Amino acid sequence: MRPTASPARLSTDSATFEADFRARLHWSAETDAEVEQRVAQILADVRERGDAAVLEYTKRFDGLDAPSMASLELTQAELKSAFEQLPAAQREALQAAARRVRSYHEAQKKASGESWSYRDADGTLLGQKVTPLDRVGIYVPGGKAAYPSSVLMNAIPAHVAGVSEIIMVVPTPRGEKNPLVLAAAHVAGVSRAFTIGGAQAIGALAYGTHTIPNVDKITGPGNAYVASAKRRVFGTVGIDMIAGPSEILVLADGSTPPDWVAMDLFSQAEHDELAQSILLCPDLAYIERVQAEIERLLPQMQRAGIIAKSLNGRGALIHTRSMEEACEISNRIAPEHLEVASSEPHRWEPLLRHAGAIFLGSYTSESLGDYCAGPNHVLPTSGTARFSSPLGVYDFQKRSSLIEVTQAGAQALGAIASVLAHGEGLQAHALAAEMRLDK
């Protein structure tokens, strides 16, 4: 049967808009209790038995029967050879993308990731020292969603931050390796790579095993087991975020060719059936043209089935009273990807408070950002852009406050600290300050 796509049609004018809108947006990140319990067991087992446990789970879940953990390590030579055997066009595209991603993240480090300090009037030195993490783990999904671009997007910011060891894990179900993923690991400068996945890989990275060194932070997306495992090891190691389904929101004033917008909606919907594509537009005639392009283009798509399911189940074309109202609704959604398909993108950008990435103007398709514009494609999903940020150099750095109080400074500060410490009933704190007062 030929798939058809009918995203929900909503209008802010409608009396039922609020209810319809909430129903469309609803998505719950909660993992079920059974997944949670199994993950807890796997993590405890990996912590207890190390390599042996990881090998057993790899056999059971990935159908990969290896004699030792060492045999699951991909050598640098193997990564390099994967790269060299790619067609020239892919080799060059990977390298060009890596160059641009690196250069953007270098600018990011310079703008917001450098140490700083100053001295106040008393001569007191205050500031922060910014240092890279020592060792990080990067989780790369295997199977149907094995994206080499994600290897670049996770490893390059770590590299730019100055992380000295980057350990990649990628499951290879039944031993099937994705050459583009291996090649990307070579281009991005991954230090070591293991073909393991799931909760067992997260446990190995968090606790360390005989073969796999424990890391300081784990980044990268994964399935429900991986997400639950990351949540559990948070505190033992750092984690980036718990990713939900991917989303795109297009704010359109009607000036972008409607087939471009239809294809941009598809490019999110083709990820998986839970992905969400939303159009917000004050021009009803334009919405009809986009809908017509959706119908025209869908049959030509290789992933038409997934696109149709995603659009029918979670997509929406929303008619708004104005662009201003569209911006306000976008802020309520706090989308992962936000395209401003407008001839005046800089008129609307200041109104947009919450989004993972903002793509300005008709030529800026999300897919350019996904691969090679430079900014990171690991972005906060499911409304978490209200409080979190794209993956960046800052995720692979941490800060230490620096304080140097002079003898003069200790007199002024000691008097204040003494009063407050006594007020909190902390006598030792007070005395430590008072002892430094001149006699």
Q: Which is nearer to a copy of itself, 285 or 401 (CB)?
A: 401
Tokens 């395209």 belong to 339
User: Was 225 annotated as part of a binding site?
Assistant: no
Q: Which is nearer to a copy of itself, 92 or 288 (CB)?
A: 92
Instruction: Identify which range of 49-57, 69-77, 188-196, 367-375 contacts a copy of itself by CB under 8 A.
Output: 367-375
Amino acid of residue 6: S
Q: Which is nearer to a copy of itself, 136 or 212 (CB)?
A: 136
Q: Which is nearer to a copy of itself, 198 or 369 (CB)?
A: 369
170-209: contacts with a copy of itself (CB under 8 A) = 180
Please give the full DSSP string across 46-66, using - where no structure is assigned: HHHHTHHHHHHHHHHHH----
Q: Which is nearer to a copy of itself, 62 or 293 (CB)?
A: 293
Instruction: Identify which range of 185-193, 198-206, 316-324, 382-390 contacts a copy of itself by CB under 8 A.
Output: 382-390
User: Was 370 annotated as part of a binding site?
Assistant: yes
CA distance 3 to 298: 8
For 12, list phi and psi in degrees, rounded to 5: -65, -15
114, two tokens: 């450098």
User: Was 319 annotated as part of a binding site?
Assistant: no
Among 231, 283, 305, 351, indicate the residue that binds a copy of itself (CB under 8 A): 231
CA distance 158 to 165: 9
394 lies in the site for a copy of itself, by CB under 8 A: yes
Tell me if 209 sits within 8 A of 46, measured CB to CB.
yes
Q: Which of 199, 222, 221, 233 is nearest to 35 (CA)?
A: 199
- The alpha carbons of the chain give a radius of gyration, in whole angstroms, of 25
User: Was 246 annotated as part of a binding site?
Assistant: yes
289-318: contacts with a copy of itself (CB under 8 A) = 301-303, 307
Q: Which is nearer to a copy of itself, 61 or 234 (CB)?
A: 234
Burial of 142 (C-beta count, 10 Å sphere; 0-12/13-18/19+): buried
Among 13, 188, 238, 347, indicate the residue that binds a copy of itself (CB under 8 A): 238
Q: Which is nearer to a copy of itself, 6 or 427 (CB)?
A: 427
The torsion region of residue 174 among left (phi > 0), alpha (psi -120 to 50) and beta comes to left
Residue 166 pairs in a beta bridge with 136
User: Was 271 annotated as part of a binding site?
Assistant: yes
313-342: contacts with a copy of itself (CB under 8 A) = 338
Instruction: Identify which range of 8-16, 48-56, 318-326, 391-399 contacts a copy of itself by CB under 8 A.
Output: 391-399
7-46: contacts with a copy of itself (CB under 8 A) = 29
Q: Which is nearer to a copy of itself, 35 or 125 (CB)?
A: 125
68-97: contacts with a copy of itself (CB under 8 A) = 89-90, 92-94, 96-97
Q: Which of 235, 224, 239, 216 is nearest to 39 (CA)?
A: 224
Among 77, 118, 174, 439, indicate the residue that binds a copy of itself (CB under 8 A): 118
Tell me if 362 sits within 8 A of 255, measured CB to CB.
yes
CA distance 344 to 357: 17
Q: Is 194 helix (H, G, I), strand (E, B) or coil?
A: strand
Least Å from the CB of residue 10 to a copy of itself: 23
CA distance 35 to 99: 39
User: Was 438 annotated as part of a binding site?
Assistant: no
CA distance 349 to 327: 9
345-364: contacts with a copy of itself (CB under 8 A) = 345, 349, 352-361, 363-364
Q: Which of 404, 287, 296, 237 is nearest to 13 (CA)?
A: 287
Other beta carbons within 10 angstroms of residue 123's beta carbon come to 12
Instruction: Identify which range of 192-200, 204-212, 282-290, 384-392 contacts a copy of itself by CB under 8 A.
Output: 384-392
Q: What ranges in 162-275 are assigned the alpha helix state H? A: 179-188, 198-207, 224-233, 258-269
Catalytic residues: 336-337
Among 39, 167, 281, 385, indicate the residue that binds a copy of itself (CB under 8 A): 385
236 lies in the site for a copy of itself, by CB under 8 A: yes
395-424: contacts with a copy of itself (CB under 8 A) = 398-407, 409-410, 413-417, 419-421, 423-424
DSSP state of 196: -
Helix (H) or strand (E) holding 341: strand 337-341
122-151: contacts with a copy of itself (CB under 8 A) = 124-131, 133-134, 146-149
For 329-345, give one letter per residue: b (16+ CB within 10 A) or e. bbbebbbbbbbbbbeeb
113 lies in the site for a copy of itself, by CB under 8 A: yes
User: Was 365 annotated as part of a binding site?
Assistant: no
Among 82, 190, 431, 439, indicate the residue that binds a copy of itself (CB under 8 A): 431
Q: Detail the residues annotated as belonging to a binding site for Zn(2+).
A: 268, 271, 370, 429
Q: Name the binding residues.
A: 139, 200, 223, 246, 268, 271, 337, 370, 424, 429
